[in-house]
Structure 1
Amino acid sequence: MIHTKLGLAAAFAVAAAFSTAAQAQTQITWWHSMGGANGKKLEEIVDKFNKSQSDYKVVPINKGTYSESMTAAIAAFRAGQQPDILQVFEVGTGTFMAAKQAIYPVQQLMKDEGEKFDPSDYLPTVTGYYQTGGGELLSFPFNSSTPILYYNKDAFKKAGLDPSQPPKTWSELADDAQKIVTSGAAKCGLTTTWPSWINVENLSAWNNTPLATEQNGMAGVDAKFVFADKGLIPRHWANLVKWQKSGVYQYRGRASDAGPSFTSGDCAMELESSAGRAAILQTSKFDVGFGMMPYYKDVQGAPQNSIIGGASLWVLRGKPDDHYKGIAKFFSFLSKPEIQAEWHQFTGYLPITKAAYELSKKQGYYEKNPGAEIAIKEINLNAPKDYTKGLRFGNFVQIRQMFEEQLEAALGGKKSAEQAAKDAQETGNKMLREFQAQQQ
């Protein structure tokens, strides 16, 4: 009987020890917007970190789209219920930069917690998007991508085109698309996802044309849109309107809604994020080709360099000190070359560190996977200029939606492309001034 009591006492002691250990583990919440295969890979990487140590547990929570998670986080912060880490898409950078009291700059965090962190280890075209004018990195680069051209090699063959030669210029693309449609190889020549990111933002950078003053907003909140005055956007939108009438181009919605039009074989070409690679290869029943974005041959300096999309991780204030030590260690884990290479190779997002890029090359990844290096070549094609490093505008989530509304109005015949671009510029500048006024 005594032995039984001692056995129970020992058992309770062990259980209490495990309970204490569990309670001692600091839980870090991460709100993100990664779904599907990429979301599963994210959870897999988080699980690796959690198993690599016992002091911290990162809990990833999908909060819907980027816009939804950003809105939810702002509301949660006001209620004192904010997550530790928030994944914010690149167009939300300007808004979060202005919320100085709510964010813990990542470069300062890593320094405060004694974690090795050198921004120069990261691709400059990535870090430049999330740095202050003085060079301080405010958020942690995580998933960065850039648009590339995907094309249906089978459709190219049926149309009598060389499947190893994707079009390089917009003129070549229009000619190829017309041959494809005329031959019946596909109903639609080209479609585009993420309308503003591709047909406004990257179109401008790739074609060496400023979108706005103040280094596309990177140098100050008093930036002013000038794209309608420069002429490139009105010209391109007018071409899209013209091409849509003959089937050369077909608008199939916002965000990634146009994706199925390509993978089903309905459209022979698609401008889509490099991060769409995994899903496209998994769902397409034809031989997929890859190419750089087309450019306008007569525009001086084109092609220049593309700019990134995707998101970075922002650390929010208002949490206990031990949380920040855990966040810093988690970011160090995410920066490991083998982790970054794994994320890059699976998803198609850029390898955000130079070491991850070199490791991927050493592993023979690009030789085994044709087209996987195109996005890296695009952002590094030429040294970025002040207006091709990226863009940073307050209220840009709403402004981008407005840009897409104006493009849709032109494609729907409600107004000319020239008028739509002019209206987009004027309305965008009003929205920029509203944001600027809020900062004073």
Structure 2
Amino acid sequence: MIRRRTLLAASAATLGAPAILRAQTVTELSFYYPIAVGGPIPAVIDGYCQDFQKQSGIAVKPVYAGNYAETMTKAVTALRAGGGPQLAVLLAAEMHSLQDLGVLVSLDEIGLDTEAKRWLAGFYPAFMANSRAQGKTWSVPFQRSTAIQYYNKTAFEEAGLDPNAYPRTWAELAAAATKLTKRDASGRVTRWGIKLASDLGNAQWTFGALAHQAGHRLMNEAGTEVYFNHPRAIEALTYWRAFAFERHATPEGLSAWPQLSPDFLAGNTAIIQHTTGNLTNLRTNATFPFGVAGLPGKDGPRTVVGGGNLYFFKAASPAERTAALRFARFLTAPERAADWSIRTGYIASSPAAYETPAMKQYVADYPPADIARSFLPVATGELSTFENQRVYKALTDQIQACLNGAKTPAQAMAEAQAEADRILRPFRRA
């Protein structure tokens, strides 16, 4: 059986009060937010919080707590100490782990009236996949993305490639990355063909996309089993490894997520795989023409969704929970979701956002902004299990060992499977 660790429950003294009254008793909320990509995102979030205070009288204090993993650790630590946030943006894929920690309150428990239920039904179904479990809704989409590839069109032209015909299959991408790799007279690489993130916290996202491109899903929906040693998972890792050891189009070993954008902007890497949330940053800072493309696949394009959802914590009082839900609805309103997408590059979380005049004009003026959304039909969910961070580390350690040349793909996946099985064994029902 799954054993859940719970925090002290909040008092229910105000549950009988109307929702609007309960919200009015709150003057301040704490909101943990991950900074994981470049750009002026804190200023955007600060502005939304200020606008919400003007509308509601409730001050929302954002705490910028590092990347997703760091933000989750800090939020849970603060909650255990009795001083945690009322809500946070954390990885959508962390739903099972957060449930097991016993820190969440569902939207159903907070209370959803008819209008709120219509709001909840308005999100893209693909983004709600990591939000529901056990008949309840545990989070709502906010900064959601798919993995996409950015490519230097000038480098494509230099290599004799068509900058308007991006590769659609693994074979085409491998050939292009080889041609794009540039060396000086001494043989030193001056431009890598491609870089994919393999650091902790990001390797599983890269690998999840590759596995999906090979026609494989890495876990079951319950989050209690993984399928790392499946032949198609091994095939995906083999393809990844070949960029370095056979194609010599990417460095051997670790490629860290924070370095991908600087390398791309400096012209040191022709293709990077990154989040849609980096689009505005690259568009603002690139000094060369670049393209945006969905990920190629073994036989055709496939990608993986990712990004963060808004979670609500049971340590909050009933009044704070209601106020936090009000803030979530404010953040995800169509006009604001459109503004968020325009200013960051993340995919707006609802179809209604794309019907706003601002978004229609933005897409008309800059069509690449709509490429990621067009790949939602061929996207899969991110790896999501109980004890997610431990499973991520087990998988990442083995991926890195393979990319370093220490293990074969089959060896690495067998060991990742064995460790993940050990971690997840307590969560499997008989």
1:182 and 1:265 mapped to 2: Cα distance?
A: 11
Distance 1:147 1:350 in 2: 11
What SS does structure 2 have at the residue aligned with 1:285? Answer: coil
Name the structure with the higher helix share: 1
The equivalent of 1:32 in structure 2 is: 33
Match of 2:174 in 1: 174
Whether the aligned pair in 1 keeps the contact of 2:33 and 2:63 (CA below 8 Å) is yes
Cα distance, 1:105–1:25 mapped onto 2, change above 3 Å: closer
Give the whole-Å Cα distance in 2 for the aligned partners of 1:360 and 1:226: 44
Contact 1:145-1:273 within 8 A present in 2 as well: yes
Q: 1:209 aligns with which of 203, 207, 216?
A: 216
Matching residue's letter, 1:211: L
Calculate the aligned-residue CA RMSD, in Å. 2.6
Q: Secondary structure at the match of 1:111?
A: coil
Distance across 2 between alignment mates of 1:138 and 1:169: 36
Alpha-carbon distance, 1:236 to partner? 2.8
Q: Tell me what 1:51 maps to.
A: 54
For residues 277-331 of structure 1, what are the alpha-carbon distances to aligned partners after superposition, in whole Å with 9 as ceiling and x for unaligned?
A: 122222322111111101002xxxx54x533211111111233333223222212
Cα separation, 1, equivalents of 2:111 and 2:213: 34
- Deviation digits for residues 228-268 of structure 1, max 9, x if unmatched? 22x22322322333321343223553333322222211111
Matched AA of 1:367: A
Letter of the aligned partner of 2:69 in structure 1? S
Q: For residues 323 and 209 of structure 1, do their structure 2 counterparts lie closer, same or farther at Cα, with a shift above 3 Å needed? A: same
Rounded to whole Å, the distance in 2 between the matches of 1:379 and 1:197 is: 19
Unpaired segments ≥5 residues, structure 1: 1-22
- Do structure 1's residue 106 and structure 2's residue 107 form an aligned pair? yes
Letter of the structure 1 residue corresponding to residue 144 of structure 2: S
d(CA) in 2 for partners of 1:186, 1:154: 15
SS at match of 2:298: coil
User: Match for residue 286 of structure 2?
Assistant: 284
Cα distance, 1:402–1:360 mapped onto 2, change above 3 Å: farther
Q: Is the 8 A contact 1:306 1:378 kept in 2?
A: yes
Distance 1:347 1:341 in 2: 10
Matched residue, 1:234:
234
Q: Which digits, 9 at most, give the CA deviation of each residue in 1:2-50, with x for residues without a partner?
A: xxxxxxxxxxxxxxxxxxxxx9761111111136412221111111111
CA distance in 1, matches of 2:137, 2:419: 31
Q: Which runs of 4+ in 1 moved over 4 A?
A: 112-117, 182-186
The Cα of 1:110 is off from its aligned counterpart by 4.2
Of residues 258, 261, 283, the one that matches 1:259 is 261
Are 2:224 and 2:385, in contact at CA under 8 Å, matched by a contact in 1?
A: no
The question of whether the paired residues in 2 share the 8 Å contact of 1:210 and 1:227 is answered with no
Matching of residue 318 in structure 1 with residue 310 in structure 2: no
Q: 2:384 aligns with which of 379, 389, 392?
A: 392
* Deviation of 1:106 (Å): 2.2
Residue 74 of structure 2, aligned match among 72, 75, 85: 72
- Percent identical pairs in the alignment equals 24
SS at match of 1:167: coil
Match of 1:347 among 322, 344, 348: 344
Structure 1 residues 43-75: Cα deviation after superposition (integer angstroms, max 9, x where no partner): 111111111232x11111112222222122222
TM-score (norm 1): 0.82
Q: 63-72 or 190-199, which moves further after superposition?
A: 190-199
Distance 1:237 1:116 in 2: 42
Q: Which residue of 2 aligns with 1:412?
A: 404
Deviations 1:132-191 (A, max 9, x none): 153x32112111111101100000111111111111111101111222226879621100
1:409-440: CA deviations, max 9, x gaps? 11212111221122112212212225x27x99
Count of aligned positions:
396
Cα separation, partners in 2 of 1:25 and 1:119, compared to 1, 3 Å: closer
- List per-residue Cα deviations over 1:178-212 (Å, max 9, x = no partner): 22226879621100136524432122234431213
1:53-202 equivalence runs, <5 A: 53-54=56-57, 56-100=58-102, 102-111=103-112, 115=116, 117-134=118-135, 136-181=136-181, 187-193=191-197, 195-202=202-209
Q: Which runs of 5+ in 2 are unaligned?
A: 1-23
Larger radius of gyration: 1
